[in-house]
Amino acid sequence: MNPESLSVVRMTGELDLLRRDEIGAMLRVTGPRPPMLVDLSEVTYADSSVLAELLRFHGEAKRHGVRVALVIASRQFARLVQYAGLGQAFHIFDSIDAARDFCEHGTGS
């Protein structure tokens, strides 16, 4: 898979209600597209509005058959995603390399 066939979305800092529209625009899937690697490794805070956007995004990606990998470095954020029940919805990685390998080859978990 060449680099142009992998879409990387990078979010940093605090993700909260004030950034919901921005997050929603970044996580939009309107049709078939290359696999998406969503890099959340530099997120310092996330609230329930982000979880709602991730849930919406999961539905869109699944509907259009788009492979998605999330990179979450923060244990706190990873626990929040797990507690919200989204751990089963996404392939979650703690490194960009592992997520990229999953997106490119479908390997990993």
pLDDT-flagged residues of the chain (< 70)? 1-4, 107-109
- Cβ atoms 47, 17 nearer than 8 A: yes
The pLDDT value recorded for residue 24 is 95
The beta strands (E) that lie in the chain are given as 7-15, 36-46, 68-71, 91-93
Question: Which domains occur in the chain, in start order?
Answer: 3-105 (3.30.750.24)
Q: Could you tell me the two tokens for 63? A: 């509907």
* Kind plus residue range of the DSSP H or E element containing 57: helix 48-63
pTM for the predicted model, two decimal places: 0.90
Which pLDDT score is estimated for 85?
87
pLDDT at 12: 96
